[in-house]
Amino acid sequence: MPEPVLIELPVPELPRTQIIERTRHRFDDVHRLVEKGWTISAIARRLHLDRKSVRRFRDTDLDELPASARDRRPNGVLEPFKSYLNARFTEPQGQVSGTRLFLEIHERGCRGSRQAVRKHLAALRAGTAEPVRADIPSPRKIEE
């Protein structure tokens, strides 16, 4: 039996969105100045970036930059309320409106927007909502 022929697939390209294009330009600018021997502080001043951003552009491959931005994004303000929203959304009495759920969690201290609640409910309806992480108590709370 002959061996299968391996076909090289093209490298998948990131979509041409405004933020991806800006990231590519900044990446190129930082690397061009690094090659000229500029210091991190000088690059940061020239490009109006934070020094940490310049280091990240210098030390991270271009393909990994958008993924690293997603990893650094903090959990949303809705995170502590998602289990409540999910429970209320799936109650047998019928679905409650997004506005009503927003008002309920707002009374409980949520600082999120109506739009954040709408997006979460839309993801629940579509079945694409991320599972709610279980609250893991800190070591200090366990000791108490």
Q: Rounded to an integer, what distance in angstroms lies between the CA atom of residue 51 and that of residue 71?
A: 19
How does residue 82 score in pLDDT terms, banded at 50, 70 and 90? confident
Contacts of 110 (CB under 8 A, 6+ apart): 77, 78, 80, 81
Q: 0.75 exceeded by the pTM?
A: no
Query: How do residues 106-143 score in pLDDT, each as one tens digit?
Result: 888 888 888 888 888 888 888 777 766 655 666 666 66
Q: Are 124 and 84 in contact (CB under 8 A)?
A: no
Question: What pLDDT, on the 0 to 100 scale, is given for residue 134?
Answer: 59
Query: Taking 80 as the threshold, does the pLDDT of residue 101 lie above it?
Result: yes
Question: What pLDDT, on the 0 to 100 scale, is given for residue 50?
Answer: 94
Q: Are 58 and 33 in contact (CB under 8 A)?
A: no
Helices and strands, counts by H and E, the chain: 8, 0
Query: How do residues 2-46 score in pLDDT, each as one tens digit?
Result: 666 666 655 555 566 788 888 889 999 999 999 999 999 999 999
In terms of residues, how long is the chain? 144
